A and B are shown apart, each in its own frame.
Chain A
């Protein structure tokens, strides 16, 4: 039992950064913008969180700085694609390349430094419950935040008026504009929110999951988060399933290795990536599901006519 609980806790740790980054990107895509820079924003979050925690000794401050800096970083993307109407795919890639380069430069002095781990925040009484106690109530703050974020985003998108406006901008920007909505303004806000989420996801990597700075430590997680949004067909609730499924694949891979099975480590390490491809194929085959939920203006630039 103890073993299973510790495995489940590590699944949560692997799923949390994916969930947070994907939730942010889901809001961005719902507003009609495709930001492929998640990987870059995430690693900027990871490096700023780690370095801030090193300098100040406070991991919470680290996470806060990561959110702010990654959000500011996403502003470059927003200005380029929304104000200068550059190609969203290419600009997102540029953001990822720049983020990977900058993070390497910032983090160079911190390679090998012992990390400062964000300790678990056990909720009194509840965390003493048998079995589910530590699993649900004995985790770090970012874990709780990730669940709150998913429910918050679900409520915002589908129950609030502003959320409805954001979705209508993503579905048909020309009509939304004609109705007097500020298409560009709403999209700016969405992109900044996505940046903030990616920053927090990165902070989780370097403060909780690995507690270290390793160059390129996001290792494609930003891209998997993008795939999760497609998997979830732009519904926040389904992100939970997807993220925890991928968390389980990632952790399962380590446990198979530990069992001493004669499978090369590299094959197991490529499982999450292969799983992503398979999931993308399965989802894409269901055209009706994809058609209903895909924001119709996704990836298209908008220039307001006057």
Chain B
């Protein structure tokens, strides 16, 4: 048996729309097989993962909390990936954004005005953007591999934030637990509704998605991003600078990751502690691809990924399933998304062994 790809004369629009859904269905099938192998009822497993969290108001609230950073980061990554730059270090930019934004409530905790919150958000964006600019500048200036440098900076950021919350920034009244003092009310991003955990970060995520969609699809900058992403040479002929684009893309995606970080710190945890790094920066890569690098698609994709987190927690409690299963789901999802994307550009032809042997004979 032989698998062969035959290029379509034109990418299939129909498949471009449906491929993320196909990937989702395939992931569920693979998940059902995994549940069966672990001796769990596949139907109950899938129900707990993908349906139950949507029915319960508390879970819906938590999905929104998790989807917020995922969507914000993934929008930035989509811009970066589209421009042909691989930012794998969003996790680090998210941490540094959260940390830089937290400097105001930590160092000036008596300052209690309406200015605090907007300033924190701006500093979070700036912190993430500057940290993201490092791999961007290194690539633009020295042609350094941005995948590796951006990833290495994640580990550096993790160590640095860990040092801060255990050392100089630790709350002296915190019984020795790592973490800063809880923020004042003026430094907390308010909840969407009185009893909810979901905060205004969710609104920021939707606004960011709409702006990014507009820029990408309706402006010259968006055109520049996609031209340089598809062919650097063509972009140069059009007068676009690949180096400037690299720095721009890394700053934008770093800034959005930083915004996600400070929104999480200020809206969700309400202090900076050692548990900020939850892998959102990596899961957001899956969100970006599941959303087909389209900011509006990313909103839906972010909710799907958040669902796997919450469903994973539910399955751990009610079925005794390892919470790592959620990570496995996410990995599988990315594989299926990429595989289904192939169908947009190629037809897959599976030929039997005898048929291909016969053709070989004919060719010879």
Contact = CB atoms under 8 A, between A and B. Distances in A.
B153 interface: yes
Given A101-B331, A105-B324, A227-B148, A266 B5 contact: no
Consensus secondary structure, chain B interface: helix
A101 B159 contact: no
Interface residues of B, number: 47
B163 A280 contact: no
A105 B325 contact: yes
Nearest to B333: A94
Interface in B288-337: 289, 322, 324-332, 334-335
Chain A CB within 10 A, most for which of B3, B7, B142, B283: B142
B221 to A, nearest CB: 24
A84 B285 contact: no
B152 A220 contact: yes
A101 B149 contact: no
A229 B162 CA distance: 30
Nearest to A303: B5
A100 B91 CA distance: 16
Interface stretch (A54-62, A125-133, A281-289): A281-289
Contacts of B346: 85, 303
A89 interface: yes
A230 B285 CA distance: 24
Given A84-B339, A104-B324, A284 B163 contact: no
Given A80-B339, A87-B338, A101-B324, A230 B148 contact: yes
B183 interface: no
B138 A270 contact: no
Nearest to B86: A89
A89 B146 CA distance: 12
Contacts of B7: 303
Interface in A279-306: 280-281, 284-285, 287, 290, 303
A169 B339 CA distance: 24
B210 to A, nearest CB: 25
Interface in A66-102: 76, 80, 83-87, 89-91, 93-95, 97-102
Given A36-B147, A86-B342, A98 B335 contact: yes
A84 B349 CA distance: 11
B334 A285 contact: no
A76 B326 CA distance: 19
A273 B338 contact: no
Contact of B342 (A85, A285, A287): A85
B228 to A, nearest CB: 17
A76 B20 CA distance: 20
B217 interface: no
Nearest to A107: B324
A274 interface: yes
Contacts of A269: 159
Contact of A97 (B149, B327, B348): B327
Interface in B87-114: 88
A302 to B, nearest CB: 11
A99 B283 CA distance: 14
Contacts of B325: 101, 105
Given A90-B338, A93-B285, A270-B156, A105 B322 contact: yes
B327 A101 contact: yes
A108 interface: yes
A91 B335 contact: yes
Given A80-B339, A85-B342, A104-B327, A90 B289 contact: yes
Given A84-B338, A89-B147, A270-B159, 13 more contacts: A85-B346, A94-B331, A98-B331, A98-B334, A101-B329, A101-B330, A105-B324, A108-B324, A227-B148, A266-B159, A267-B159, A276-B148, A277-B138
5 contacts: A83-B3, A90-B289, A94-B335, A95-B331, A104-B327
Interface of A: 36, 76, 80, 83-87, 89-91, 93-95, 97-102, 104-105, 108, 219-220, 223, 226-227, 230, 264, 266-267, 269-270, 273-274, 276-277, 280-281, 284-285, 287, 290, 303
Going nearest first, the 10 A-B pairs with the smallest beta carbon separation are A101-B327, A98-B331, A104-B324, A266-B163, A94-B334, A266-B159, A86-B338, A101-B328, A97-B331, A270-B159
